[in-house]
Structure 1
Amino acid sequence: MNRYERRPISMGEAEVQYLDGDLRIIRPGAFVRCAVTGVSIALEDLRYWNVDLQEAYASPEAKLQRLQPLSKS
């Protein structure tokens, strides 16, 4: 493999550590799952997550749905 070729990426689910404004790939993969809907989210499309809960969300609506029960307590 020369240095301009990309390494093959695992097509499975990635393990990610969600940080403030960034994320760290623990185990390479192509996607993560939304904690609310269960749909797969390509890593390059991942925009919404919760650092405290370490969860990913497919959309802002999914994140709000997840946080609704938490805010009513």
Structure 2
Amino acid sequence: MSNSARTARLHYMANGFRMLTQGDHVLCAVTREPIPLDHLRYWSVARQEPYATAQIATQAIHGDRAS
């Protein structure tokens, strides 16, 4: 079974995630860039959103305080 090019739907938990809909990637909540599931490291449990990088996650969760 190949999930190639299918967006997964996940439930994000504190120490991992549960697959709700099969796929091979999710889209970053901020940039909309695809994140392969094996590279997914950053998400918000409260917002149920994935992020491509730690910097994007920090900005999304805490707001851009540098501005």
State whether TM-score is above 0.5.
yes
Is residue 2:20 matched to residue 1:26?
yes
Whose helix proportion is higher, 1 or 2? 1
TM-score under structure 1 normalisation? 0.79
RMSD over aligned Cα atoms: 1.5
Is residue 2:46 matched to residue 1:52?
yes
TM-score under structure 2 normalisation? 0.86
Identity in percent: 34
When the two structures are aligned, how many residues end up with a matched partner?
64
- Runs of 4+ aligned structure 1 residues displaced above 2 Å come to 7-11
Structure 1 residue ranges without an equivalent (≥5): 1-6
Looking at structure 2, the residues matched to 30 and 8 of structure 1 have their Cα atoms a distance apart, in angstroms, of 9
